[in-house]
Structure 1
Amino acid sequence: MAVWIQAQQLQGDALHQMQSLYGQHFPIEVRHYLSQWIEGQLWDAIDLENPQEELKAKRLLDSLIQELQKKAEHQVGEDGFLLKIKLGHYASQLKSTYDRCPLELVRCIKHILYTEQRLVREATNSSSPVGSLMDSMSQKYHQINQAFEELRVLTQDTENDLRKLQHNQEYFIIQYQESLRIQAQLSSLATLPPADRQLREPSLLSKRATVEAWLTREANTLQKYRLGLAEKHQKTLALLRKQQTVILDDELIQWKRRQQLAGNGGPPEGGLDILQSWCEKLAETIWQNRQQIRRAEHLRQQLPIPGPIEELLTELNSTITDIISTLVTSTFIIEKQPPQVLKTQTKFAATVRLLVGGKLNVHMNPPQVKATIISEQQAKALLKNENTRKRKVIQD
């Protein structure tokens, strides 16, 4: 049975997860009307990490657009007319979004198909003894990786929206400068003879009215774009914080516990390289979103429009800074602990590691780190101090 037919039978949270896969980046209507064609393509045959595969991806994009256009042309009747317009719009939208980056379309559809197959499989196996025996560790890692993929898609979506906002704002500024030029021409008419002024003034007044009406409409549109982008960033940051909590408060704490047990004769703790890869992915995604928020703030400063966007951007900046601060302070760990029992006059080795150092380019300006062994009482006092101290904001 086709995956799409099974996906439409999902219920509850599984149905909600399936629906959340779609949006402006890939409308659910395209998935519905081209389901057979989409599932018949060899998406997995394209290596997303190989730029030379872009030509194959471009062919698939062109074929997808052609299939949409054909589907639109075959619509008849009153309802068919509306669907024809909608599918034609989606064809133009997908071409505009992915024409310069066709590999992103392949990545997007592979993610959609993979997630749908997983949701259908989980729904099918939920009452099966085999499904209930799924390894919990593999399932947990799978959920973390899925969340990273969702964050990647969300971040790419906001990047596309930001570029569109920037393009529209640049055009707005050009038109605003045109309105100033018209106003200057109107002002200069005072120096002309009355006959010349009467000849030119009506045309300039008409042009000024047209441009000012357009500027008013476009200012409202730009404000909506800004608010929409800020809301998407809020969603991304909420997922980022949730993912960071899972990795730092669950996985990293468990690793530290295994490290303690290993120091007392237990099995090796293991898993640090996986943790580092997750932390680096977090750092990379957080940094990308921070840069996007800063660019959005720059656009707002470049063209101030009254509204709630200033407060929203301030809140987003505060949130992303707090997330970065937590990540950096929580990922500085003791990789190799000293022996649990120390004898006097005995040398030992200990190693510290910053799990996000690679992504923050710490090696370009390596800091000096001093580690000191303290007593249990000193450790408790330090912890109490840390809990009551206000976290210092990370500066650039």
Structure 2
Amino acid sequence: MSQWKQVQQLDIKFLEQVDYFYDDNFPMELRQVLANWIESQDWETASNHESMATVLFNNFLIQLERQCSQEQNFLHRHNLKRIFHQIQVKYKANPLQMAAVICNCLREERRILSTASMQEQGPLEKSMQNSAALEKQKVLDNKVAVIRSSVQMLDQAVKYLEDMQDDFDFRYKTLQLRDPLERNSSSMKQEVTTLQEILNRLDFKRKEFLSKTADVIKEIDALISSQLNPELKEWKRRQQIACIGGPVLIGLDQLQNWFTLTAQSLFQIKRQLDKLGELILKVTYESDPIPLQRPQMEEQVKYLIYHLIKSSFVVEKQPCMPTHLQKPLIIKTQVQFTTKVRLLVKLPEVDYQLKVKTTFDKDLPPGKVNRQFFILTNNTKVMDVEESTGCLSVEFRHLQLKERKCPTGGKGNEGPLSVTEELHSLNFEAMLMLQGLDIDLETCSLPLVVISNVSQLPGGWASVMWYNLLTDDPKNLAFFSNPLRASWSQLSEVLSWQFSSFAGRGLNKEQLNMLGDKLLGQHGSYNDCQVSWSKFCKEVIPGKSFSFWMWLDSILDLIKKHLLPVWIDGCIMGFVSKEMERALLKEKEPGTFLLRFSESHLGGITFTWVEQDENGDPKFISVEPYTKNRLNALPIADIIRDYKVIADGVVPENPLNFLYPDIPKDEAFGKHYNSQQNKVCPYIPTHLVPISHRVPAQHSCSSPEPPMSPGMYEIITQHLSPFEFESAMSSP
């Protein structure tokens, strides 16, 4: 079943997540009509190679144009043509961006499918998607609607006040024009009495209106402080979790709706209070409540408008390099990165350009970081109204950082923290002038890690994960001076997210238990165990030359580049100790095998199969791990299919028959084989075959040779001793 068909069968809560990341950058209609073609292309590679991205972009347009011509429904054809032109204009100058966008969409789909297939959600994910949160949102929807209704009723009350005052004003002026000789007449006295009654009612209605207005202002104040601001804070926390591979971030449009409706209510009240100011210029009297109460209310409303709009200035997309969309908040010097800010309140028309300026490490005290940077490119842009949301936003697409030379001539990174533990910040500022208010807008990104070499990327990503897992204070740039510990229940969930996000399939309980053993030693229960930052990322594993995170990150890289299809299909058990491996295979049919990641090599995968010795006892044989260099020559599925063991005087055989527990090899891996049988070629095709040489029985396991043809293996072994052969094959 295609990935898109699997997505369409998801529950509604997962479909809402899918809906979020299909937007104007890549409409869902395109995903639907070109589903099979899109899934058959290598967007991951294209997102990093401009020539390949250009070819795919042109092929994409050809496929879409063909689909337009075949579409029978007039409306659908019209929409596809419109989208065709939008995509053509948007990505013609930058096909790399389109490849990156599509790659990210496919990856997010896989992550959501993986999450949906997992039996249990972790505590962090549950907290992001619990029913209580949904109930709070319904309550907030209702509260905002009630306030809007109350403000509309106040509008009617102001209109009633104005009509009553006009009536009083007309009667009063008419009375003044009457002959003074009639002042003692009964009709004149009656008119004066009527005027007094109208004035009494007017006074009562003014007091009533002011009282109701005060109540609505209090309700809005409470709404902002006890509901809107906490919801915004929770959204920012969800953004942190999404940055490190957690659930897809949704809810910003909903927040915008709440903020906008609340702002509209405040603007409407401000207009009502302005109207009262006009009314008292025509009619006022002793103990008139409007001059006494209106100024204070007006100040309250201005205060609420100011702080509501100020808090609605948010970083919609955290800083990210287009080449590493899944690893935001890591910036490499002199490499372009993008970020986007948004104003959640839809404003009345602003009659000037609202400019946003971005600065780097604006408020960082001197001496807090060892390295200093400045923005190399244009750091000011104008906010525009976004067509899809109607809000003001601005995207900085071409920012670059450059390191400022240290005045003393030193390297500038000699402090107690490593380069990847130094945290930095990107600030955004704008000045909004609106209805007599000067609102200084300011916000900042989540803390950034700045690297100068891609080799620092794994360490930088570890810092980003650790920080965003354990704190929600965006200004805590000294976090790694004394980093908090993480519980295993927290950390294991984030590690599973790395596999679901980067590799399309998360980790199950058994796999996480093996990682717990690796990091913490064997425990009855890991959930309450605390993990230090140093143990996770800096200390080497006992007996090895690398840390736990370096080992795990190398496996992620291996899966992403060489094992993705078979990992997604669940063919790789991956994380299983040697002891558990033997326990699982012990009772199985000879030729049953499983694949696991090497514990001794960085980024290596091996397979182990079970045989029977002369006494009928199980014997376990593992091959030397395959690393990326060897998998470049031959995909893992073809290695499994063609693997041979050569024993003295015995015809080469493939000992691999069943993928654990009992799946026939071809059934498990068949769709991943690379076949050349149907290719028309005038030459006899060559065929790489992975071979291991069966060592004498006294040795416990065999050591495989790198994939090569049988003929090449024979030639080399005839001219080199076993020691020389091994050395030759291990050299670069």
Instruction: Give the TM-score normalised by structure 1.
Output: 0.54
Q: CA deviation at 1:143?
A: 0.5
In the TM superposition, what are the counterparts of 1:191-210 in structure 2 within 5 Å? 201=181, 205-210=185-190
Q: Check conservation: 2:172, 2:195, Cα contact below 8 A.
A: yes
Q: What letter matches 1:344 in structure 2?
A: T
Classify the secondary structure of the residue corresponding to 1:216. helix
Classify the secondary structure of the residue corresponding to 1:352. strand
Give the equivalent residue in structure 2 for 1:145: 141
Shifted more, 237-246 versus 313-322: the winner is 237-246
Give the equivalent residue in structure 1 for 2:530: none
Give the equivalent residue in structure 2 for 1:241: 221
Q: CA deviation at 1:202?
A: 5.2
Determine which of 170, 177, 182 is the counterpart of 1:181. 177
Q: What letter matches 1:297 in structure 2?
A: G
Determine which of 283, 292, 299 is the counterpart of 1:318. 299
Determine which of 195, 198, 201 is the counterpart of 1:218. 198
Q: Which has the larger radius of gyration?
A: 2
Determine which of 365, 368, 372 is the counterpart of 2:352. 365
Higher helix share: 1
What CA distance in whole angstroms lies between the structure 2 residues aligned with 1:360 and 1:249?
A: 22
Unaligned segments of structure 1, at least 5 residues: 1-133, 187-200, 381-391
After superposition, the Cα gap between the structure-2 partners of 1:375 and 1:171, relative to the gap in structure 1 and judged at 3 Å, is: closer
1:351 correspondence with 2:340: yes
Structure of greater relative contact order (alpha carbons < 8 Å, 6+ residues apart): 1
What CA distance in whole angstroms lies between the structure 1 residues aligned with 2:365 and 2:312?
A: 22
Determine which of 266, 273, 282 is the counterpart of 2:253. 273
Q: CA deviation at 1:203?
A: 7.3
Give the equivalent residue in structure 1 for 2:166: 170
Give the equivalent residue in structure 1 for 2:436: 395
Q: CA deviation at 1:176?
A: 0.7
Q: CA deviation at 1:341?
A: 2.7
Q: What letter matches 1:323 in structure 2?
A: L
In the TM superposition, what are the counterparts of 1:245-260 in structure 2 within 5 Å? 245-260=225-240
Give the equivalent residue in structure 2 for 1:291: 271
Sequence identity, in percent? 26
Q: CA deviation at 1:299?
A: 1.2
Q: CA deviation at 1:340?
A: 2.1
Q: CA deviation at 1:312?
A: 1.1
Q: Check conservation: 1:255, 1:272, Cα contact below 8 A.
A: yes
Q: Check conservation: 2:183, 2:189, Cα contact below 8 A.
A: no
What CA distance in whole angstroms lies between the structure 2 residues aligned with 1:336 and 1:141?
A: 23
Give the equivalent residue in structure 2 for 1:309: 290
After superposition, the Cα gap between the structure-2 partners of 1:394 and 1:175, relative to the gap in structure 1 and judged at 3 Å, is: closer
After superposition, the Cα gap between the structure-2 partners of 1:166 and 1:284, relative to the gap in structure 1 and judged at 3 Å, is: same
Classify the secondary structure of the residue corresponding to 2:286. coil
Aligned residues: 234
What CA distance in whole angstroms lies between the structure 1 residues aligned with 2:140 and 2:363?
A: 35
Classify the secondary structure of the residue corresponding to 2:250. coil
Instruction: Give the TM-score normalised by structure 2.
Output: 0.30
After superposition, the Cα gap between the structure-2 partners of 1:138 and 1:156, relative to the gap in structure 1 and judged at 3 Å, is: same
1:341 correspondence with 2:330: yes
Unaligned segments of structure 2, at least 5 residues: 1-129, 320-327, 369-432, 438-732
Q: What letter matches 1:135 in structure 2?
A: S
- Cα deviations by residue, 1:246-288 (Å, 9 ceiling, x for unpaired): 4442111111122223333433332111111111111222212
Q: CA deviation at 1:152?
A: 2.5
Q: Check conservation: 1:325, 1:394, Cα contact below 8 A.
A: no
Q: What letter matches 1:395 in structure 2?
A: G
After superposition, the Cα gap between the structure-2 partners of 1:161 and 1:375, relative to the gap in structure 1 and judged at 3 Å, is: closer
What CA distance in whole angstroms lies between the structure 1 residues aligned with 2:145 and 2:317?
A: 32
Higher strand share: 2
Classify the secondary structure of the residue corresponding to 1:349. strand
Q: CA deviation at 1:342?
A: 2.3
- Cα deviations by residue, 1:296-334 (Å, 9 ceiling, x for unpaired): 222122211222331211121111111100111110111
What CA distance in whole angstroms lies between the structure 2 residues aligned with 1:158 and 1:347?
A: 52
After superposition, the Cα gap between the structure-2 partners of 1:157 and 1:348, relative to the gap in structure 1 and judged at 3 Å, is: same
Classify the secondary structure of the residue corresponding to 1:231. helix
